[in-house]
Amino acid sequence: MNQNEVYDVVKRDEERSSPTSPWQKKGMKITVVVVIAASIVALSIIIITSVALTWKSVNVTCPVENQTIPILVTTTSTLPPPSTSTTEEISTTSTTSTSTTTTTTTTPTTPTIPTSPTIPTIPAIPTTPITTTTTTTTTAQPTAQPTETTTTAKPPETTSTKEPTEETTVAKIPETTTAQPIEEVPPPVVIDPELLINFNRTLILQIDHNSLWAQDVDSHEGKFIVRNSDVPFDNFDLYANKNLYLGGTRGSESVNTIRSSNTAFKDLRWPTIDWHARSIAVDAWGRNVYVVDDVGSKVDVIDMMAGYQSIVLPSLDDPVDIALDPSTGQMFVLQWASILRSNMDGTLLRAIISDTIISAFAIETKNKRVFWVENLSLQRSDYDGNNITTVFNFTSRVKSLAALEDKLFWVISNSISNSGYLWSCEYSDADASCQNSKKQYFVDNIVALKVYDLRQELANPCATSNCGQLCVVSGDASTTCACTLNWQPDPSDSTDCRPVQDYLLYVEGDIVKGVSLDSEAKSFMSAMTPFKLTNVSLVPQQTIAFDYDSRQRRLYYRNEGSIYSVDMTANTKEILLRNASKSGPQSLAVDWVTGNIFYPTQNPPWAQIGTKDPVNPTNIMFYNRELNGNMQERSVFRFIYNEEIESIALDPNRGHIYFATIVRIGLTYRLHRMNQNSSDIIDLKEASHAFASLCIDEKDRRLYWIHENAVQEQNFSKVSEMEESKRSNGPYEAWVYYIDLNDLEPKRIKINELMLSLDIDRPITSIKVYDDWLYLANNVGIWRMPKQARANPAVNATEPSPTRLLTLNNAKNRVIQGMYLYSEQSQYIDRYHPCAVSNGNCAGYCLAVPYANNKNNNRVVLQRICV
Q: Is 220 left (phi over 0), alpha (psi -120 to 50) or beta?
A: left
CA–CA separation, 277 and 293 (whole Å): 5
Convert the pLDDT of each residue in 433-485 to its tens digit.
Answer: 999 999 876 677 899 999 999 887 667 888 888 999 999 999 887 899 999 99
CA–CA separation, 190 and 56 (whole Å): 14
Convert the pLDDT of each residue in 776-823 to its tens digit.
Answer: 888 888 888 888 644 344 444 445 567 778 877 655 557 788 888 888
Q: Where are the beta strands (DSSP E) in 297-368?
A: 298-303, 309-313, 319-325, 330-335, 338-343, 350-353, 358-364
CA–CA separation, 270 and 454 (whole Å): 29
Give pLDDT, residue 628: 60
Burial 840-866 (b: 16+ CB within 10 A, else e): bebeebbbbbbeeeeeeeeebebeebe
CA–CA separation, 182 and 179 (whole Å): 9
Give pLDDT, residue 272: 82
Give the number of other CB atoms < 10 A from CB of residue 208: 19
Give the number of other CB atoms < 10 A from CB of residue 523: 22
CA–CA separation, 468 and 230 (whole Å): 38
Q: Is the Cβ–Cβ distance between 818 and 506 less than 8 Å?
A: yes
- Enclosing H/E stretch for 819: strand 816-822
Q: Is the Cβ–Cβ distance between 192 and 120 less than 8 Å?
A: no
CATH architecture of 503-822: 6 Propeller (2.120)
Give pLDDT, residue 312: 95
Which residue, among 315, 338, 328, has the nearest Cα to 285 in the 3D structure? 328
CA–CA separation, 399 and 395 (whole Å): 13
Report if pTM > 0.75. Answer: no
Query: Any idea where the domains of the chain sit in the sequence?
Result: 30-176, 503-822
Give Cα 87 distance to the centre of its chain.
44
CA–CA separation, 623 and 121 (whole Å): 55
- Main-chain dihedrals φ then ψ at residue 427, nearest 5 degrees: -110, 140
Query: What is the torsion angle, in degrees rounded to the nearest 10, for the CA atoms of residue 235, residue 432, residue 216 and residue 237?
Result: -20
Give pLDDT, residue 811: 53
Which residue, among 340, 327, 344, has the nearest Cα to 456 in the 3D structure? 327
Give the number of other CB atoms < 10 A from CB of residue 230: 16
- Enclosing H/E stretch for 645: strand 643-651
CA-based R_g, the chain, Å = 37
CA–CA separation, 819 and 764 (whole Å): 12
Q: Is the Cβ–Cβ distance between 288 and 303 less than 8 Å?
A: yes
Give pLDDT, residue 780: 82
Give pLDDT, residue 688: 87
CA-to-CA separations, 533 to 87, 544, 649, 862, in angstroms, rounded: 55, 11, 22, 36
Give the number of other CB atoms < 10 A from CB of residue 578: 10
Ranges under pLDDT 70 in the chain: 1-35, 41, 43-196, 250-254, 415-418, 441-442, 457-458, 519-521, 535-543, 579-586, 603-617, 628-631, 639-642, 709-733, 758, 788-801, 809-813, 853-858
Which residue, among 805, 797, 727, 712, has the nearest Cα to 761 in the 3D structure? 712
CA–CA separation, 623 and 685 (whole Å): 28
CA-angle at 562, arms to 621 and 847, nearest 5°: 25
Q: Is the Cβ–Cβ distance between 387 and 353 less than 8 Å?
A: no
Starting at the earlier edge strand, list the strands of the sheet with 511-516: 531-532, 511-516, 503-508, 816-822
Give the number of other CB atoms < 10 A from CB of residue 493: 12
CA–CA separation, 199 and 839 (whole Å): 70
What one-letter code names the amino acid at 181? P
CA atoms within 13 A on the CB side of 835: 27
Q: What is the 3-class SS of 399-468, one letter each residue? A: EEEEECCCEEEEEEECCCCCCEEEEEEEEECCCCEEEEEEEEEEEEEEEEEEEEECCCCCCCHHHHCCCC
Which residue, among 609, 606, 611, 528, has the nearest Cα to 571 in the 3D structure? 528
CA dihedral sign, ordered 25, 28, 30, 32: negative
Three-state SS for 28? helix
